[in-house]
Amino acid sequence: MDGDESLSPSTGFPLLGRAYSDRFPVDHELNSYFVETYELEDELGAGGYGFVMTARHRTGGHETAVKFIIKDKVPAHAWVEDESFGRIPSEVMLVSLLEHDNIVRCLDIFEDSHYFYLVQELHGTPWVSRKKAQHQELAVPSLTPSSSCSTLDSLPLLTPHPTDTAIWESQLEQFRNGQKQPENLQPLPPPAFGRRASHDLFECIEQSRHKRLPEPQARYIFAQVIEAVHYLEQLGITHRDIKDENLVIDSDLKVKLIDFGSAVVSDPEQERPYYQMFYGTTAYAASEILQRKKYQAPPAEIWTLGVLLSFLLTGSSPFLSEDDAIHGRVSIRESIATTLSEDCLSLMQRCLEPDPSKRADIYEVRAHPWLQGTLDIECL
């Protein structure tokens, strides 16, 4: 090791980011407390606002996912003031407070002159495409996880948006104080850095034989997503970028929602505000958004869920064109449609109602017959 390399004074671990990844600027020093606590390992993905790496806790031994958010990339309107951490991106604040079994947990927050470090639980199984896996018939609920690091898939990173901090801090405080409870139904030069296979639902679906999931698996996964959205709705939070790449999943089909960079928050007791700017993924954009109309976030979220359901069950979008999406004309290949239950298809259609005032809300979706009595994974 170079004699002039910057080291942590208490542990002797390298502080220069380039000791761990060439994505860090030359001569950039990492937060010493972070380096003493976590050992950076593989890269998971990268985007315009930063990148994600795995890191192992030096004493606890558990793996985490660390999202390095570039401060200069965060717009002026996407910052909030926190009593403990000071001025931080709204996404960091939000993720640090949410607590739900189907939402990835925040474990630690660090910062240096260049980055915020959002340390989160590393959930999910590394997946590879079916071509790289042993060719065999899928058993329910098992899929084919990968123990290799042969693929790299960019994870969606921070897409900031302003949010009303006071409102959602108040709502979360109510939950935690028991005043309100959610409804509960059931070294240099840099080494050759490793890259992990994706942990997300997109790769999980892609590796399956038909690039779509059997209905029982789809239902089990979708029900978990609905629980996360239901929890957020009660807090006045809308994620606004739910898609297969923002859902991490393990070999037991346990799902967790990630990336709250596009989330908005409002008072759940008041009429939801209208927005003009669209933050999300075009393939999942609701009819009213495609028409360039002002939109409310919750109904647009339900549309997104309908598109997600189609990807789960058919491996593709429910629409052949933008015009079809605008008018809610769902197209599913007959060879697939005939294998799906009527309840499943009716739920998809209720989510993809082109008129947002007539579209199902999260409560209707959650109570839909197709999701009632969802089987335990052991029973699938």
CB 248 within 8 A of CB 105: no
| CA-to-CA dists, residue 4 to 16, 40, 137, angstroms | 11, 21, 56
Side chain identity, residue 107: L
Side chain identity, residue 213: L
d(CA 353, CA 12): 59
Q: Pairing mode, if any, of strands 50-57 and 63-70?
A: antiparallel
Q: Which of 21, 120, 14 is nearest to 66 (CA)?
A: 120
Per this entry, what is the length of the chain? Answer: 380
d(CA 315, CA 70): 34
Side chain identity, residue 165: T
CB 115 within 8 A of CB 50: yes
- Residue 69, both tokens: 């958010």
d(CA 311, CA 332): 11
**Of the listed 200, 241, 244, 259, which one is catalytic?**
241
To the query of whether residue 241 is one of the catalytic residues in this protein, the response is yes
Residue 257 sits at φ, ψ, to 5 deg, of -85, 135
Catalytic residues: 241
